[in-house]
Amino acid sequence: MTAAHCTTCPYCGVGCGVTIEQQSNGELTVSGDVAHPANQGRLCVKGSALGETLDLTGRLLQPQVDGQPVAWDQALGQVAQRFNQIIEQHGPQAVAFYASGQLLTEDYYVANKLMKGFIGAANIDTNSRLCMASAVVGYKRAFGGDVVPCCYEDIEQADLVILTGSNTAWAHPVVYQRLVKARQQRPQMRVVVIDPRETATCDIADLHLPLRPGSDAALFTGGLHWLAEQQGLDTTFLQQHASGAEATLAAAAEWTPQRVAEFCGLPLSAVLTFFQLLTASHNWVTLYSMGINQSASGADKCNAIINLHLAGGRIGRAGSGPFSITGQPNAMGGREVGGLANQLAAHMGFTPEDIDRVQRFWQSPRIARQPGLNAVDLFQAIATGQVKAVWIMGTNPVVSLPDADTVRQALKQCPLVVVSEVMAMTDTAELAHIRLPALAWGEKQGSVTNSERCISRQRAFLPAPGQARADWWILSQVAQRMGHGAAFSYQHPSEIFSEHAALSGFENNGTRAFDIGQLAGLDRQQWLQMAPVQWPVNARHPMGCRRMFADGRFFHPDGKARLLPVTPRLPQNAVSARYPLVLNTGRIRDQWHTMTRTGKAARLMRHLSEPFCEIHPQDAAELGIADSSLVRLSSPHGWMLARAQCNPGQRRGSVFVPMHWNGQFTAQGRVDSLIPPVVDADSGQPESKHAPVRVSHWPVSWQAEIFIRADVAAPRGIYWSRVAQDGLTHYIMAGQRPVEDWQAWLQRHFSLEGMTLQTAQLAQRGLHLIGWRQGEVQLAFYVRQQAPQLDRPAILSAFELAPNGGPQRLALLAGRGAPGQLAAGTTICSCFGVGENRIIAAIQAGCHSAEALGARLQCGTNCGSCLPELKKLIQQHASQRVA
């Protein structure tokens, strides 16, 4: 007997449906929901590893006040009392909430209502400010509403797919898989990837434009001018459904292909190829993400993209549209409830009519009358003492905000920091006065909206652990204790959803795009069973709406869309002699943000296990940096350590560092401590993709790895990076100061108590040491002057089944597998744990396609996330046949 639950993946904005089956032995299996419109059964590697992140290790399970575990009643009373006290003394502007696109819509709605309607200030902002704020401004300026016009099918139906500032293969893998499949079925489809570096996404590109960082607006504005020159404008559409074309075209006129090529640092021929694709293709979709949004001119870049689509009439029809793909599972839900400080609620802003309408709906005693502080300003206001209390929920700002060391300092000084978290220890939770344990994915229930406006349900299939409670419940309980009982007496999240839906339809009459009024009447049972549906859901679209603007009607009062003249400009912070390289940051395939959940899954850590810095080999050579050595990156704001990865796909003059690593996983690896707090003036979104930095060799006198059957903190004063391993602690380490006596050092930091030691002394003070207790391996330690080359899977398996026999023990001591066995190498396929060396051997033995490799080794046959890497390995090794 199995019981199945349908829910939605908690990671990216693709919003895949997930089926959880509980076997009769209690075991949970995770698979893609074949009935869900977003993924139709597919899952990527993170989604398929969800089952491995559900254990309770490291969870926060009890409320804590000032470091002491307390009962809920006391914790909630303390939050309410301390907030009220600060509000009484300093006014409502002295308190703030900082929320997240990972909260469910119901949680988010309550947070927004409490702050804007009952505390009466608009100081609630969200991590979506770091993510979607520019896209929101772009859409609002163009369409009069924050509307993503497209659906995923449009990507499949397009003749030309332009991916800009998006590493779709890694960040939105299931959309990427859909694109790959569509491309196989319609080989005439063309794909252009615009990204300063060569990413896994380029695997599918007919054309890759490695443009100068930050120069996209010129490319799209040049495209607009090209359309005008080539009689490619949709003049009927422009006349009937848009305004602003004349001024916008006039402003674009100076962007000739030649000028674009110079500005973007691209060959003229590549620019022309792109422009010719525009005129030659009937339908285009432009999919854009953080390489566009996270910029000091991000909103303008969005409008440059939208201008092109409006001018070409490539919008509102199948296979066309400017598609900002969202990052978090509920980034869209946050935009819908008003989670951004410059929106009020349900797509309403701070006009007198909207303020009055929302206040009447909420029947609230007071209401915020002007926008509050956006994320970056909010933390600056905490630093200056203007904001004295902050409640952070579902986000880790000490890691993810720019100028992260200042953010940490600000929180240290803040009189009241409340954190709602699922994990006991994060870089942010560490600084909280009050910690509130929230329910995690699988335990909580509510709804989320994905990138294509599809509202779908997250359902609970696990019991609430310890004292953990739903975020909406925590917020409502605090609201009640602050004196707002009647407005926050929710018993069930379905009641909150109904209220939110009713507000969206309240006095709407087609004036606001976000309208799910039709869902206001759902009762609890209907909400529990609600099937995925794309908003709007109203009288006009009772079954939802897949594609917007098919009728050419937009949400500006005149019903027309706006083209907006854009002046392309390069990033504000330019490189200098002191900081000569551009630091670009972003995501890797197998980690999610600050790693609080994906960092738990051993197999997700084997793809890339350390913070790294990708650099062009020539830049590295000029700086005296060897591949795989440690480097120090610094900016005027902070510094970090990472391992150099020389990669010719990296644009010269810029380096790439992942955003994920933080104080829980590495010694000094928060990349945001280097990022200046430079934001887009229109959207408040930080320029996370562009910081001038210096990169230099970080000399060390030793490098080591340790595997130990105990949870031990890493020694201070060295470089370390923690790799998740089931039941083990595994550190990669390096130090600048020589260690005289390694056994004494190990005894001091890791304890060798009661162990029998087996050692091998190596040249230049190298040492390999295995600690045994009762026939079991307790500790394996390898130190060298250079990073030791180890067969990690072989070492790990020795902890499961102790090697017996001399040769096996000697192999373990050497850090290798059993004699005659091939070392696995870096894990390429995380689903089946297939290492690089086995793949290379299979290629050399004749597997020259991804299919052949899959048939032989299984790699690439589950989620497909590693296919671009498999193809790259085939390219590199297919000619090196071994006999």
CA distances (Å), origin 702, targets 57, 699, 737, 739, 762: 32, 9, 8, 8, 13
Q: What is the x/- site pattern for ligand SF4, positions 173-212, by CB under 6 A? A: xx--------------------------------------
Task: Write b or e for each residue in 536-559: b if 16 or more Cβ atoms lie within 10 A of its Cβ, otherwise e.
Answer: bbbeebeebbbbbbeebebbbeee
Please tell me the distance from the alpha carbon of residue 572 to that of residue 222, in angstroms, as a whole number. 21
Query: Restricting to residues 570-599, which ones interact with ligand MGD according to CB under 6 A?
Result: 584-587, 589, 591-594, 596
Contact (Cβ atoms closer than 8 angstroms) between residue 146 and residue 140: yes
Q: What is the x/- site pattern for ligand MGD, positions 310-349, by CB under 6 A? A: -----------------xx---------------------
When the beta carbons of 171 and 678 are compared against ligand SF4, the nearer one is: 171
Please tell me the distance from the alpha carbon of residue 20 to that of residue 593, in angstroms, as a whole number. 24
Q: Is 213 in the site for ligand MGD (CB under 6 A)?
A: yes
Q: Which residues is 455 bridged to in the sheet?
A: 449, 533
> Nearest approach, Cβ of 97 to ligand MGD (angstroms)?
12
Kindly state the tokens that stand for 639: 């510094």
Instruction: For residue 371, say if its preceding peptide bond is cis, omega within 30 degrees of 0.
Output: no
Kindly indicate which of the ranges 9-17, 191-199, 271-279, 739-747 contains the residues binding ligand SF4, using the contact rule CB under 6 A: 9-17
Contact (Cβ atoms closer than 8 angstroms) between residue 48 and residue 864: no
* Range list of β-strands (E), 563-669: 581-586, 612-615, 630-634, 639-646, 654-658
Query: Restricting to residues 401-420, which ones interact with Mo ion according to CB under 5 A?
Result: none
Q: Is 12 in the site for Mo ion (CB under 5 A)?
A: no
When the beta carbons of 473 and 707 are compared against ligand MGD, the nearer one is: 473
Q: Is 333 in the site for ligand SF4 (CB under 6 A)?
A: no
Candidate list 124, 305, 414, 438; residue touching ligand MGD; CB under 6 A: 438
Q: Is 47 in the site for ligand SF4 (CB under 6 A)?
A: yes
Query: Restricting to residues 351-380, which ones interact with ligand MGD according to CB under 6 A?
Result: none
Which residues, in sequence order, are CB contacts of 108 under 8 Å at separation 6+?
99, 330, 333, 334, 337, 339
When the beta carbons of 39 and 221 are compared against ligand SF4, the nearer one is: 39
Number of residues that bind Mo ion (CB under 5 A): 2
Q: What is the x/- site pattern for ligand SF4, positions 139-178, by CB under 6 A? A: ---------------------------------xxx----
Please tell me the distance from the alpha carbon of residue 13 to that of residue 455, in angstroms, as a whole number. 11
Binding at 471: pick from ligand MGD, Mo ion, ligand SF4, none (beta carbon under 5-8 Å per type): ligand MGD
Please tell me the distance from the alpha carbon of residue 858 to that of residue 839, in angstroms, as a whole number. 10
Residue for token digits 């000490």? 398
When the beta carbons of 39 and 134 are compared against ligand SF4, the nearer one is: 39
When the beta carbons of 19 and 585 are compared against ligand MGD, the nearer one is: 585
Candidate list 291, 638, 677, 835; residue touching ligand MGD; CB under 6 A: 291
> Nearest approach, Cβ of 170 to ligand MGD (angstroms)?
5
Please tell me the distance from the alpha carbon of residue 548 to that of residue 720, in angstroms, as a whole number. 50
Q: Is 327 in the site for Mo ion (CB under 5 A)?
A: yes
Handedness of CA 492, 494, 500, 505 (dihedral sign): negative
Please tell me the distance from the alpha carbon of residue 58 to that of residue 425, in angstroms, as a whole number. 7
Binding at 174: pick from ligand SF4, ligand MGD, Mo ion, none (beta carbon under 5-8 Å per type): ligand SF4
When the beta carbons of 357 and 587 are compared against ligand MGD, the nearer one is: 587
3-state secondary structure 389-440: EEEEECCCHHHHCCCHHHHHHHHHHCCEEEEEECECCCCCHHHCCEEEEECC
Candidate list 17, 92, 196, 864; residue touching ligand MGD; CB under 6 A: 196
Candidate list 6, 30, 43, 119; residue touching ligand SF4; CB under 6 A: 43
Please tell me the distance from the alpha carbon of residue 89 to that of residue 97, in angstroms, as a whole number. 18
> Nearest approach, Cβ of 372 to ligand MGD (angstroms)?
19
DSSP readout, 585-604? Answer: EE--TT--TT-TTGGG-HHH
348 DSSP assignment: B
Q: CB atoms < 10 A from the CB of 878, how many?
A: 14
What is the pairing mode between strands 639-646 and 630-634? antiparallel
> Nearest approach, Cβ of 569 to ligand MGD (angstroms)?
12
> Nearest approach, Cβ of 670 to Mo ion (angstroms)?
17
Candidate list 6, 11, 223, 288; residue touching ligand SF4; CB under 6 A: 11
Q: Is 446 in the site for ligand MGD (CB under 6 A)?
A: no
Local structure of 336: helix, strand or coil: helix
Residue for token digits 């869900």? 36
> Nearest approach, Cβ of 166 to ligand SF4 (angstroms)?
13
Please tell me the distance from the alpha carbon of residue 673 to that of residue 241, in angstroms, as a whole number. 45
Binding at 291: pick from ligand SF4, ligand MGD, Mo ion, none (beta carbon under 5-8 Å per type): ligand MGD
| Interface positions with ligand MGD (CB under 6 A) | 12, 46, 100, 102, 127, 130-131, 164-167, 170-171, 194-197, 199, 213-214, 216, 289-291, 294, 327-328, 393-397, 399-400, 420-423, 426, 438, 440, 444, 471, 584-587, 589, 591-594, 596, 659, 671-672, 675, 688-689
| Interface positions with ligand SF4 (CB under 6 A) | 9, 11-12, 14-16, 39, 43-44, 46-47, 172-174
| Interface positions with Mo ion (CB under 5 A) | 131, 327
